[in-house]
Chain A
Amino acid sequence: MSIDAELVKKLKDSSLKDTAFSELLDVYQERLYWHIRKIVTTHENADDVLQNTFIRIYKSIHSFQEKSSLHTWMYRIAYNESIRFIDKNNKKNFDHIEEVSDSNLEVLFEDDYFDGDEIQKKLTKIISLFTEKQKRVFQMKYFDNLSFRKISEILEISESTLKSSYYTAVKIIEEKIFL
């Protein structure tokens, strides 16, 4: 039995749920944090969304039907929570997606927990120019080290489309990063 399957079994057992949830945090907290951070930009926002994500996981674990892996299911929850957070904030502050993108860069560079050099800033700027789909695919593949199959399950996009998006994104970065 895999670690994930064992964790799910324990999480669904009310007497073991709390211990299993602590184990789950040890395994996935950092990974989910970085997945969220890239979507919501700042550390403060990522912290809020991470907490909401784990509370949602804790509450809805009994309804997890194990059709996908625990890993994928949790990433999907984190992704949905992040998008919900962005939508909520964008409705308050912006009218156009371009404004959001520019504003996100400003917010990121001003964040206390960003100390990137010129090349890191440039990479971030290039990624911010991608389409939403390209951005998510590239970040999940390159920074979160997820397989195409898992990204496909999380974003509900076919693997072939994902691969095409990813390689296009890589090509753009390679071309623009040292210009």
Chain B
Amino acid sequence: MEEITKNNYKKSFLKEGFKGGISKHHKKYLGTNVPEGYFVKSKISILEKTNKEIKIESSKGTKKQLVFWIQPHFKYIAAASLVFILSLTVWLQNKNLDVLKENDIELFSFSDDVLINSLWIDDADLESFAEVIIINEILIKATIFEQKIDDLFLNSLFVEDSLIDNYTNDGFIETFIL
């Protein structure tokens, strides 16, 4: 009897196909099952998780805040202008520094030369040089200047009174009538 049942089972086994729900099929052949109401609970859980995912994605989207906005076709012009201004500033600063450095070096080397050379000049020579400079540059120039002032004063005395009268009359007419 047991042998007959075994043979019948053997014949039907793997030939029954997919009958009754997929879960029943698995239970029947593999002995595997699921907790009561599992698929309903699982569906809710999956839907909750997908909603969370949406929220996370949307929050990621809002985190990208706009600092400032500019018309797309102005972007490159603005960027190029900024780069140009910056490079010009840097270049001009470096250029001025170079010029100053060169001048400074020349000035320092010249003053050093003068100081060193002055040590080798004899005191008598230096005194005679100073006397000549003082006579030529200061005394003569002062005398000439004094003479020029005297001339100006004398010239002003010889200006005719008639000329001054004419000037003052014209000035008065222009000021009060015109």
Contact = CB atoms under 8 A, between A and B. Distances in A.
Whether A associates with B in a native complex is yes
Given A113-B33, A124-B30, A29 B39 contact: yes
A120 B49 contact: no
Given A29-B43, A34-B22, A43-B35, A51 B49 contact: yes
A155 to B, nearest CB: 19
Given A31-B22, A178-B10, A55 B29 contact: no
B39 A177 contact: no
B97 to A, nearest CB: 58
B53 interface: yes
User: Which of the listed residues A51, A108, A121 has the most CB atoms from chain B within 10 Å of its own CB?
Assistant: A51
Contact of A51 (B23, B26, B33, B42): B42
A58 interface: yes
Contacts of A38: 30
B31 A116 contact: yes
**A-B complex: 8 closest residue pairs judged by Cβ atoms:** A116-B31, A120-B31, A145-B18, A54-B46, A58-B50, A25-B43, A113-B33, A34-B22
Interface of B: 6, 10, 13-14, 17-18, 21-23, 25-26, 29-35, 38-39, 42-43, 45-47, 49-50, 53
Interface of A: 18, 21-22, 25-26, 29-31, 33-34, 37-38, 43, 47, 50-51, 54-55, 58-59, 108, 111, 113-117, 120-121, 123-124, 142-145, 170, 173-174, 177-178
